[in-house]
Chain A
Amino acid sequence: MSISVDQPNGRTPLIEFREVHKHFGKLHILRGVNEKIMEGEVIVILGPSGCGKSTMLRCINHLEKIDGGDLIVDGINLGDPHANVNRIRGETGMVFQQFNLFPHLSVLQNVMLAPMKVRGISKDAAREKGLKLLKRVGIEEKADAFPIQLSGGQQQRVAIARSLAMDPKIMLFDEPTSALDPEMIREVLDVMRGLAQAGMTMAIVTHEMAFAREVANRVLFIDGGKVCESGTPAEFFDNPKEERAKDFLSKILKH
């Protein structure tokens, strides 16, 4: 496999989609996606529901297998059946809409589990790291609580800390605030904003347009299983080129 390095700014792409296809039974969800995500970029992925935004993220993390094309994540081609998938999963943190915290483990144990089991670090080191991360997402006082005792916003912040514990090269957010009450959305977005400012590479599927405009380096608009438009938030929101993007924005911004 070869990795192109001929980027305008000279950096290596962390993730590269090349003609990626994905089917769910008869549904053709991704129809030849081509895209590069560079290190340090914050990408917001927009598009109508069912267009394949989440699928794109889930393919990066190999929660879905791609059916065609190449998907190169940190130098490993996921289109190759012999690829070391577990390594990729360790390098890419995923935050889910439904949090998916482990209900039988305490908050701290949720964060400590993967570093201990996957990276093999000691319990003490994992605890120290876990507490540090919980502090970073502002929830260290709940370290010994169980997920069920937390609010949705708190749970999602723990989920972010849990992913960060693997020192991922990229964080994937799959509609992280969609399952939250309005008053809790802010606390999660604040944590994400902090991550972006610290230089984390992020790919975010969200409906929070104001947040997208503020935080993103680049906005991808997906429709019909393809990337229709890609540009800075300013270009995209103020002056969309594609008809479908205009249509989408007019519907969204009315609310």
Chain B
Amino acid sequence: MSSTALSADPETQLPALHRAPVFTFARMFNAAGWLILGLLVYFLIIPAVRFGNWSPFGALSTWQFLWVGLQVTLFVAVFSVVISTIVGFVLALGRLSNNKLISRLSAGYIELMRALPSYLIIFYVFIVFPKIGIKLPSPWFAIIGLSLYTSAVMAEIFRAGILSVEKGQLEAAYALGLKPFDTVINIILPQALRRMVPSIVSQLITLVKDTSLASIIALQELTAAGRQLYEYYGQTAGKPIVLETLFVIASIYFVICYILALISNRLEIKG
């Protein structure tokens, strides 16, 4: 290196060739990205806001109508989660049991439910149950259908969590004379639970979304309310609000699910 490099501002001393080029691939790529984002906003979002028929969403009655549907969605989701968690836990213990019969039966149930579309299971409950004489309010059909499926998934999450605990922990507990049930409650679950939280929450998100499947059949929940709203406006008011309504509905689901996802991330980072 020449002595000029010792001067206060070496960059001005370097030949032009050695300067970093202004138009690097990365910079152009970055600029293109922002340009695309801008175009999307300009051609999609701005027209949607300006030309969409948003006036029905200024009325309180619209929101009241949707709120009734959302309540059903939340009711079904909450009860399904509670039931599937309990049943799933029992199924997981069953599958891990040393009793061959219990283990096989639990495994059979879990594999069957996981191999079927949840839509089919819900459909089955709604269509076949009344035929064989079981009569319930439709939210409970939805809860049963969703729980049948979700409990199987929960069982697998619990099982994976239990299996992730080191074998030495189990041996130490047994060596102290703890019974299997005490071992699960005091040693395994506290360690496994933290690892299972992300999977449980992501299943919870799936569950909230899957409540909409019941609306295809008979359940009056959020998506059904939205559909009725835009069908009603389509018949009476003239200017259709199909996309507007679906956007609002989707956003409500999004807020619920995204909050759940954020909670899960927070717990995961802590753990």
Interface string of A148-172 (1 = CB under 8 A from B): 0000000000010011001000000
Chain B positions 95-118 with a Cβ under 8 Å from a chain A Cβ = none
CA distance A104 to B189 in the complex (A): 10
Stretch at the interface among B151-159, B178-186, B217-225: B178-186
Judged by a CB distance under 8 angstroms, whether A251 is at the interface is no
In this complex, the interface size class of chain B, counting residues with CB under 8 Å from chain A, is: 10 to 19
Interface string of A101-131 (1 = CB under 8 A from B): 1111100000001100110000000000000
Min CB distance B216 to A, Å, is 44
Q: Is the CB of B177 within 8 A of A100?
A: no
Judged by a CB distance under 8 angstroms, whether A61 is at the interface is yes
Min CB distance A118 to B, Å, is 4
* Chain A neighbourhood of B173, CB < 8 A: 102
CA distance A166 to B173 in the complex (A): 12
**Chain A residues bordering chain B, tally (CB within 8 A):** 26
Q: Is the CB of A63 within 8 A of B175?
A: yes
Complex: chain B residue closest to A92, CB-CB: B175
CA distance A163 to B190 in the complex (A): 21
* Chain A neighbourhood of B169, CB < 8 A: 100, 102
Q: Is the CB of B178 within 8 A of A163?
A: no
Min CB distance B187 to A, Å, is 6
Q: Is the CB of B171 within 8 A of A90?
A: no
Complex: chain A residue closest to B193, CB-CB: A104
Judged by a CB distance under 8 angstroms, whether A230 is at the interface is no
Judged by a CB distance under 8 angstroms, whether A7 is at the interface is no
* Chain B neighbourhood of A2, CB < 8 A: none
> Given A86-B179, A114-B177, A163-B176, A103 and B171 touching (CB < 8 A)?
no
Judged by a CB distance under 8 angstroms, whether A217 is at the interface is no
Q: Is the CB of B172 within 8 A of A117?
A: no
Judged by a CB distance under 8 angstroms, whether A213 is at the interface is no
* Chain B neighbourhood of A102, CB < 8 A: 169, 172-173, 187, 191
CA distance A166 to B178 in the complex (A): 11
Q: Is the CB of A118 within 8 A of B177?
A: yes
Judged by a CB distance under 8 angstroms, whether B174 is at the interface is yes
Complex: chain B residue closest to A62, CB-CB: B174
Min CB distance B190 to A, Å, is 5
CA distance A61 to B171 in the complex (A): 10
Q: Is the CB of B175 within 8 A of A93?
A: yes
Judged by a CB distance under 8 angstroms, whether B168 is at the interface is yes
Q: Is the CB of A114 within 8 A of B168?
A: no
* Chain A neighbourhood of B191, CB < 8 A: 102-104
Q: Is the CB of B168 within 8 A of A96?
A: yes
Of A89, A101, A117, A159, the residue contacting B174 (CB under 8 A) is: A89
Interface string of A74-92 (1 = CB under 8 A from B): 0000000000001101101
Q: Is the CB of A118 within 8 A of B176?
A: yes
Q: Is the CB of A163 within 8 A of B175?
A: yes
CA distance A94 to B174 in the complex (A): 10
CA distance A159 to B179 in the complex (A): 19
Q: Is the CB of A87 within 8 A of B172?
A: no
> Given A96-B168, A113-B186, A87 and B175 touching (CB < 8 A)?
no
Q: Is the CB of B175 within 8 A of A89?
A: yes
Judged by a CB distance under 8 angstroms, whether A98 is at the interface is yes
> Given A104-B190, A104-B191, A117-B186, A96 and B171 touching (CB < 8 A)?
yes
CA distance A163 to B178 in the complex (A): 12
* Chain B neighbourhood of A162, CB < 8 A: 172, 176
CA distance A87 to B173 in the complex (A): 13
CA distance A166 to B177 in the complex (A): 9
CA distance A62 to B182 in the complex (A): 18
* Chain B neighbourhood of A86, CB < 8 A: 177, 179
* Chain B neighbourhood of A163, CB < 8 A: 175-176
CA distance A102 to B190 in the complex (A): 10
Complex: chain A residue closest to B168, CB-CB: A100
> Given A113-B186, A117-B186, A100 and B172 touching (CB < 8 A)?
yes
> Apart from A102-B169, A113-B178, A113-B186, what 17 extra A-B contacts exist at CB < 8 Å?
A63-B175, A86-B177, A86-B179, A90-B176, A90-B177, A92-B175, A94-B172, A94-B175, A96-B171, A100-B171, A104-B191, A114-B178, A118-B178, A118-B179, A118-B182, A159-B172, A162-B176
12 A-B residue contacts at CB 8 Å?
A86-B177, A86-B179, A89-B174, A89-B177, A94-B171, A98-B168, A100-B171, A114-B176, A114-B177, A118-B176, A118-B177, A162-B176
Could you list which residues of chain A lie within 8 angstroms of chain B, going by C-beta atoms? 61-63, 86-87, 89-90, 92-94, 96, 98, 100-105, 113-114, 117-118, 159, 162-163, 166
Could you list which residues of chain B lie within 8 angstroms of chain A, going by C-beta atoms? 166, 168-169, 171-179, 182, 186-187, 190-191
Closest 10 pairs between A and B when the two form their complex, measured CB to CB:
A90-B177, A100-B172, A94-B175, A114-B176, A89-B177, A100-B168, A118-B177, A104-B190, A117-B182, A86-B177
